[in-house]
Structure 1
Amino acid sequence: MKKRLLLFFAFVLTIGTILSACTSKESSTSDKGGKGGQPYEIKWYTIGTPQKDTDKVFAEVNKYLKKKINATVKMTQIDWGDWDQKSQVIINSGESFDITFTNGTKYVQNAQKGAFLALDDLLNNEGKDLKNVIDPALLEGNKIDGKIYGIPTNKEAARQTVYTFNKRLVDKYHFDITKVKTLEDLEPMLKVIKENEPSITPIATFKAYLPYDYIFNNEMPFGFPIEGDRDHVINFFESDLTMQTYKTMHSYYKAGYLKEDAATSKDSWPMDVENWFVRMGDSAPYADLLWTRSAKYEVVSAPAEEPTTFNDSVSGSIQAISATSKNPKKAMKFLNLLNTDPYLRNLVDKGIEGVHYEKNSDGTIKDLPARVDQYNLPTYSLGNFFVLYLYGDDPKDKWDKFKEFNESAKPAPTLGFHFNSDPVRAEIAAITNISKEFYPALATGSVDPEVYLPKYNKKLKEAGIDKVLTEIQKQFDEWKSKQK
């Protein structure tokens, strides 16, 4: 009898455990609100300097969301310089939250280790409106092992690196920036600025551009050439092109065109401080208008490369749903609205009409002082560009030009390929530390590349770079063989 009773109690406990697990799983995927039918609070972490009027704006956001999907949103911004570290601590801690901004290799790595949910089923249901408007190239380029782990911002899918100039100085000295095709073409202009504008730093510190498709980023020595042999990964720090580029940067450094502490400076060179002549960055159609509006003085750009669709351009801004989310369906419903509902998208991005911006008679908008000073979020990090209101000075064909830009771009060699670094984790860690030691000084011209590049490459060899190159090539060849 005792044995029968023990078996019975064991059976009851087992059934209870199974039912508890099922209930837990159901609650994690259900679309109910909070307790007692109250609105579910979506916890959203995103990048950018925290703003004074965030609570005011999201009070309006939440009024709308309660009616639409019985939810509210608690948005927490983490400042630019703290983002990488703090966002990763949140993910690693196992904290329960719903949505996070992510991009690039962090997106890939966190998806591969299970920190983000695969969203294919949610996209086909709660996110079907979103799926219908987003550029298919963006979704395809963000697949990892055939699944989508994040919602990319529907914007430019391609990348075009440009030299951006202070237009006042371009006009003052009658520079023809259309002739700028290479880094060396900047020299005559830099010389004039150095000699005549003592309050201006000729080059707002940037890392020299190199035409490679990087596996990790431009600091790590793994890339596929954009031109020429696009099927084989190389250590591009061994190339003649890299040596020549860094020699040019070093000559600029010695001439005083960059700050003496260029390699170590934490100065982010904000555009709203007019203390620079030329800088380098990624552009999109009519970007100069956006940058001019933000800086409050005119800038003008010249391309350093043709538009190209890279993994980091399609994954430059993503919203992922955390594996710890208690209500992924509700999170997806919010992302669906954020990317398809013009009212919500503009409210989150521009703030409150009449407070942060006002509408012109033709439907375009104009920023009010509170938009600039109290609620200025990074547009690219929030969602679909194509439902944003145009400013009065925006070209009417702005979004059409974005689509043309995407269609004109050529794919990078590794578009859609995501390297799994697990087999060479130790080597990658060692190479990362070596690159942090050498790359900033070389790329800013702060040291002589004829002395330091050989030292850099010797240390890379000792750290096992050849093993990593072999593993990248192996995985790339396997991936390439499966492409249609």
Structure 2
Amino acid sequence: MRKMKKFAAAMLALTLTVTSLAGCGSKSEEANNGGQEAKTEESQEEGKDEVVTLKWIQVGAGMPSNYDAWQEHVNKLLEEKIGVNIDVEVVSWADWENRRSVVTNGGEYFDILFTDSTKYNSEVNLGAFLDITDLLPKAAPELYKYIPEDYWKAVSINDKIYSVPTYKDSSATQYFVWDKAMAEKYGIDYKNINTYKDLEPALKKIKDGEGTSPYVMDKSGADMLLSVYDQMGAGLPPIGVRYDDDSRTVVNALEQEDILSQLDIIHKMYKEGIINADAPNADQVPEYRMFFTAQGWSGAAKSTWGPNMGVEAEAIQFSDTVVSNTTVRGSLNAIYSGTKYPEKCLEFLQLINTDSKIRDAFYYGLEGENFNYTDDGKIERINNEWKMAGYTQGTFFNVSQLSTDEFNQWDEVKELNEKATPSVLLGFNLDTSKIETELANCRSVYEKYKSELFTGAKEPRELVKKISEELKTAGFDKVMEEAQAQIDAAYK
């Protein structure tokens, strides 16, 4: 449609010009909309004279050891500013998928839930999240204005807004991250290594010299390889359209040679002992790693990755920078469709996105125990023990800089976003309502094999054949046909 082309063009234009980028209560539409107006009015009156406690469930490295002291401190600030207390549950990475499913499917009460592109569409269709389209500009006008209009469009489903996007590195760039001293010890020209083909012999040098695996993975392995395929909001990594494919052809990404050739090398590294043998079953990685891959920006090596490991790190880009609906949906916070306090939830999300002191408390931890402010308002870390994941919470652009920062890393984030290559499906949103069963079945197949595939534990080409056969049995062809039909209709 001409309309879709205009929308995609408008979205791209904004992306390139914005300078500040970087439980289920009911399974029906009524759960999202019906009765919400009355509930909102009731909650407005209720919230005027009492302090309400909001339950926020998010993923991270587990509960911080000083959570109680931190909660007491932050709740004093929140109570004074907006009459809110916060109860945060930080679920470990290993337990996240199971916990998330229990919350959204089991009717457990929460107020705010971190979510992302993998299950966002399904959770909305399930009725888990509140439609905030009309309430948002009233209850959180600063937040509504702060986040670019087309970011709201990127998280909309059927023209309704069901979440608040995290305003940060909204494009995706992948990096090889090195312990600089280790790379130099073995004479590795790491700055000129930006493919897996060149990476393997370099890491073999370290493995032979150190006698241990330099590329330590957890069970997610190198699944970021699929980031060049736009998943259209399906929440199923094997399906996609390559971001630069002007024909917009839906494919099984696992079967594409650009993916298989890299998986071949990863398998070789696993057999050589370059990748740790327990990777397919590893829930977490150690704090220090000689080498790893990460999504982010090069400056994170100096501000985060290196300091967290206690070494000087260097990050070398090895992928194109891509922006899509999927990248915008990489970090979202949604409000429960059955929340008692819809307005207070939005007021809180507005505050964490606009108030630097509040943002720092969630990002860095407890002042005096995890960090201190310097005289010039920067951050001096006392330790690296804060376990909440900063990317799940709110914008990066009001996080205070570290005192050791020699530059403003957010400038690089903005530049990456401005120069990002737009996906050919930027602005397109797949309606999954007719294929939810097939998607769920296909996800189960993918989850069963992905660890062995992306850690290199099994020969990839044979394993992909097996995965593809099981995907077909689970309804993959129907999913592909439905996706292609919607794309063709949108881009006529």
Same fold by TM-score greater than 0.5: yes
Partner of 2:357: 343
Alignment of 1:455-466 (within 5 A): 455-466=466-477
**Amino acid across the alignment from 2:310:** K
Match among 238, 261, 264 for residue 247 of structure 1: 264
On the 8 A contact 2:243/2:423 being kept in 1, the answer is: yes
Using the alignment, how far apart are the partners of 1:76 and 1:439 within structure 2? 27
Partner of 1:454: 465
Match among 268, 279, 282 for residue 284 of structure 2: 268
- DSSP-derived class of the 1:453 partner: helix
% same residue: 29
Alignment of 1:384-463 (within 5 A): 384-463=395-474
Q: Tell me if 1:214 matches 2:228.
A: no
On the 8 A contact 1:58/1:348 being kept in 2, the answer is: no
Using the alignment, how far apart are the partners of 2:353 and 2:294 within structure 1? 26
Match among 354, 359, 367 for residue 353 of structure 1: 367
Q: Tell me if 1:43 matches 2:59.
A: no
Alignment of 1:279-294 (within 5 A): 279-289=292-302, 290-294=304-308
On the 8 A contact 1:285/1:405 being kept in 2, the answer is: no
Partner of 1:367: 381
Partner of 1:377: 388
On the 8 A contact 1:357/1:368 being kept in 2, the answer is: yes
Shift of 1:251: 2.3
Partner of 2:183: 170
Alignment of 1:11-410 (within 5 A): 25-26=38-39, 30-33=43-46, 37-48=49-60, 49-202=62-215, 204=217, 206-207=221-222, 209-210=225-226, 211-215=228-232, 220-262=237-279, 264-270=280-286, 272-274=287-289, 277-289=290-302, 290-369=304-383, 372-373=384-385, 375-410=386-421
**Amino acid across the alignment from 2:59:** I
For residues 420-444 of structure 1, the C-alpha deviation after alignment (integer angstroms, 9 at most, x for no partner) is: 3343344334433433344433333
Shift of 1:141: 1.6
Shift of 1:308: 0.8
Using the alignment, how far apart are the partners of 1:200 and 1:316 within structure 2? 30
Q: Tell me if 1:473 matches 2:484.
A: yes
Partner of 2:10: none
**Amino acid across the alignment from 1:226:** Y
Shift of 1:468: 2.0
- DSSP-derived class of the 2:55 partner: strand
Q: Could you tell me which runs of 5 or more consecutive residues in structure 1 were left unpaired when the two chains were aligned.
A: 1-20
**Amino acid across the alignment from 1:331:** C
Using the alignment, how far apart are the partners of 1:240 and 1:147 within structure 2? 37
Q: Greater CA deviation, 78-87 or 123-132? A: 78-87
Shift of 1:319: 1.4
Partner of 1:8: none
**What is the TM-score normalised by the length of structure 1?**
0.85
**Amino acid across the alignment from 1:472:** A
Shift of 1:231: 0.9
- DSSP-derived class of the 1:74 partner: strand
State the superposition RMSD in angstroms. Answer: 2.7
Partner of 2:18: none
**Amino acid across the alignment from 1:330:** K
Relative to structure 1, is the Cα distance of residues 26 and 181 closer, same or farther in structure 2, using a 3 angstrom cutoff?
closer
- DSSP-derived class of the 2:119 partner: helix
Using the alignment, how far apart are the partners of 1:40 and 1:202 within structure 2? 46
**Amino acid across the alignment from 2:408:** D
**Amino acid across the alignment from 2:299:** Y
- DSSP-derived class of the 2:241 partner: strand
Shift of 1:104: 1.4
On the 8 A contact 1:33/1:71 being kept in 2, the answer is: no
**Amino acid across the alignment from 1:244:** S
Using the alignment, how far apart are the partners of 1:215 and 1:113 within structure 2? 18
Relative to structure 1, is the Cα distance of residues 113 and 459 closer, same or farther in structure 2, using a 3 angstrom cutoff?
closer
Using the alignment, how far apart are the partners of 1:106 and 1:22 within structure 2? 25
Shift of 1:291: 1.0
Shift of 1:198: 0.9
For residues 51-72 of structure 1, the C-alpha deviation after alignment (integer angstroms, 9 at most, x for no partner) is: 1222222222222222222222
On the 8 A contact 1:94/1:324 being kept in 2, the answer is: no
For residues 327-364 of structure 1, the C-alpha deviation after alignment (integer angstroms, 9 at most, x for no partner) is: 20111111111111122222233234333322223321
On the 8 A contact 1:138/1:157 being kept in 2, the answer is: no
Count the aligned residue pairs. Answer: 453
Relative to structure 1, is the Cα distance of residues 23 and 312 closer, same or farther in structure 2, using a 3 angstrom cutoff?
closer
Relative to structure 1, is the Cα distance of residues 358 and 471 closer, same or farther in structure 2, using a 3 angstrom cutoff?
same
Using the alignment, how far apart are the partners of 2:235 and 2:143 within structure 1? 32
**Amino acid across the alignment from 1:451:** E
Partner of 2:25: none
Relative to structure 1, is the Cα distance of residues 90 and 185 closer, same or farther in structure 2, using a 3 angstrom cutoff?
same
Using the alignment, how far apart are the partners of 1:415 and 1:108 within structure 2? 16
Using the alignment, how far apart are the partners of 2:207 and 2:334 within structure 1? 46
Shift of 1:29: 5.1
Shift of 1:158: 0.5
**Amino acid across the alignment from 2:343:** K
**Amino acid across the alignment from 1:141:** A
Using the alignment, how far apart are the partners of 2:39 and 2:451 within structure 1? 50
On the 8 A contact 2:63/2:387 being kept in 1, the answer is: no
Using the alignment, how far apart are the partners of 2:36 and 2:248 within structure 1? 50
Shift of 1:460: 3.5
Shift of 1:133: 2.0
Q: Greater CA deviation, 44-53 or 233-242? A: 233-242
